[in-house]
A and B are shown apart, each in its own frame.
Chain A
Amino acid sequence: DQQVKQNSPSLSVQEGRISILNCDYTNSMFDYFLWYKKYPAEGPTFLISISSIKDKNEDGRFTVFLNKSAKHLSLHIVPSQPGDSAVYFCAARGNYGGSQGNLIFGKGTKLSVKP
């Protein structure tokens, strides 16, 4: 059973416009959420994160929004650039039991930003 879901396998956006990537989760025990970006033939790199005590975190062109009641988070990229074309993974930390430090990843969304 998937605890972290990225329901859109792909997204195509025009350069300069906003990209919105969505992520849903099922476990209310998750207390920390992260977004990673992955280029082909490279490892994922950390992009931005948010604690469950916040509803928004911003870093330059990247903003993550968290709606705990809906168990939903989203990553906004404004403005989108061709270099943002990559696979984006949403991840959640379940800080319970003996699994401290483990992350549960979604399946990823492939973003294509067209010039």
Chain B
Amino acid sequence: DVKVTQSSRYLVKRTGEKVFLECVQDMDHENMFWYRQDPGLGLRLIYFSYDVKMKEKGDIPEGYSVSREKKERFSLILESASTNQTSMYLCASSLWGSTRDIQYFGAGTRLSVL
């Protein structure tokens, strides 16, 4: 069974704080993704990575950065949290080169920025 683990289910942070969201997968997947989910907006891609130390911007990268120092771990960083970053954050992983490209998701981190 593929397992994608997000370190926190719920987080409450203050405006201006630096926030780290951690994601670990145990299936040796090359691809990892960070999305945010907001009501009426669906899943929007923030950043993705195809390999260690590699990152690519998604559709809404502003205000975020990422780090991938190890294959199994992909971190999302909010350099200075703002209230409009209150959201559900979802991490996913998939196998590179697969004909099916199924992404496996973690349970999500609900972040509230006050």
Contacts and interface: CB of A to CB of B under 8 A. Distances in A.
Nearest to A32: B101
A98 B50 CA distance: 10
Interface in A75-93: 89, 93
Contacts of B96: 100-101
A10 to B, nearest CB: 11
A41 B108 contact: yes
Contacts of A107: 40-42
A36 B78 CA distance: 27
Nearest to A98: B56
Contacts, number: 58
Contact of A46 (B42, B104, B108): B104
Interface string B26-50: 0000010101000011111100101
Interface of A is mostly: loop
Interface of B: 4, 9, 31, 33, 35, 40-45, 48, 50, 56, 90, 92, 94, 96-108, 110
Interface of A: 6, 9, 32, 34, 36, 41-46, 49, 89, 93, 98, 100-103, 105-108
26 contacts: A34-B101, A36-B105, A41-B9, A42-B107, A42-B108, A43-B4, A43-B90, A43-B106, A43-B107, A43-B108, A44-B90, A46-B103, A49-B100, A49-B102, A89-B42, A89-B43, A93-B101, A101-B50, A101-B94, A101-B101, A102-B33, A102-B45, A103-B101, A105-B42, A107-B40, A107-B42
